[in-house]
Amino acid sequence: MGSLAGRTAFVTGASSGIGAATARALAGAGARLVLCARRVERVEELARAIEADGGGPCRVLALDVRDRDAVRAAVDGLAGTGFEAIDILVNNAGLAAGLDPLQEGDFGNWDRMLDTNVKGLLNVTRLVVPGMIARGGGHVVNIGSIAGREVYPAGNVYCASKHAVRALNRALRIDTLGKNIRVTSVDPGLVETEFALVRFDGDADRAKAVYRGMQPLTAADVADAVLWAVTRPAHVNVEEILLMPTDQASSVHVHRRGGGA
Ligand code: NDP
Ligand code: 8X3
């Protein structure tokens, strides 16, 4: 794997799961890091651990990607800190909320998913990419999902949000063509993180059942794919990585030991 020495990476949703693992992986390759999430104390703990391991340096931001003014202030606030020249943006912050048939869906859950997964990603991208262009290039990595390629029962709005991310990957590639911007989508299947716990509003039994009898991906597996994509030579754009557990063949085809669908 190549080196990211002297490069600056901005990772959203670094307080947990894939974002935290990605921060560790990029730090391991020598990147300087801007790490953000709402639960800033967790991000601070991660930053301390990375720096103690000889990685970083890290700059930690308390940030809700849905808050456009806050995103603007956070990006502007990097000026003069040594972290302003963002080379790599990892749009990872996201969530599923609920798993209900569309006709019974919760409006609040829909807003949270669309505001975070789509508009939050847009907010950060819109405010970071112009600086990349002005500096001569950059790399945007969006964490999509198998849910951006398939629709599964009761996945409706979450799937729609990840389908939107898939459209935006293409849109950004087209709109920045000629400006040395690489756009990569890393689309995982089932990854055991806090994702299911969040989806089921803290119901640990229901969350655990998602991974029952099968071996899911780990956050580190996904981080490894991100790291691989961002360490290819500058003229190589890895457009998409679809990363599935060996035990999963589609959103609804999951091999579970001990039976069950
Ligand atoms: P986690 O719940 O473990 O992590 C989600 C991260 O997103 C947290 O750091 C959370 O931080 C952050 N986040 C959520 N809302 C916001 C917000 N409004 N502003 C800033 N940060 C926010 O789940 P994962 O690591 O699994 O999820 C990461 C991404 O991977 C998501 O986009 C998800 O859709 C995607 N994904 C996950 C899969 C899975 O099976 N786990 C499979 C495919 C894709 P905080 O709450 O502190 O703000
Ligand atoms: C998360 C994976 O299958 O729960 O994006 O939608 S899934």
Contact 171, 185 (CB under 8 A): no
Query: For the whole model, what pTM was predicted?
Result: 0.98
Catalytic residue positions, numbered: 158
Distance 97 CA to ligand 2 centre (A): 11
**pLDDT exceeding 70 applies to what percent of the chain?**
99
Q: Mean pLDDT, to the nearest integer, of 227-255?
A: 98
What ligand has the least distance to the C-alpha of 194? Answer: 1
Task: Domain 8-243: give its CATH code.
Answer: 3.40.50.720
Left if phi > 0, otherwise alpha if psi is -120 to 50, otherwise beta: which for 146? alpha
Specify the pairing of strand 58-62 against strand 240-243.
Answer: unpaired
> pLDDT tens for residues 66-117?
999 999 999 999 999 999 999 999 999 999 999 999 999 999 999 999 999 9
Atom of ligand 2 at shortest distance to CA of 162?
5
Contact 112, 95 (CB under 8 A): yes
Specify the pairing of strand 32-37 against strand 138-143.
Answer: unpaired
pLDDT value at 258 more than 90: no
Please report which residue ranges of the chain form alpha helices under DSSP H.
17-28, 40-52, 68-76, 107-113, 121-135, 156-175, 195-199, 204-209, 219-230
Sketch the domain layout of the chain as residue ranges: 8-243
> pLDDT tens for residues 204-235?
999 999 999 999 999 999 999 999 999 999 99
Q: In the numeric block, which tokens belong to residue 247?
A: 């035990």
Confidence label for 260 from pLDDT (cuts 50, 70 and 90): very low
230 lines ligand 1 (CB under 6 A): no
Distance 116 CA to ligand 1 centre (A): 9
CA distance 163 to 172: 14
Tokens 């849109």 belong to 171
Q: How far is CA 185 from the centre of its chain?
A: 9
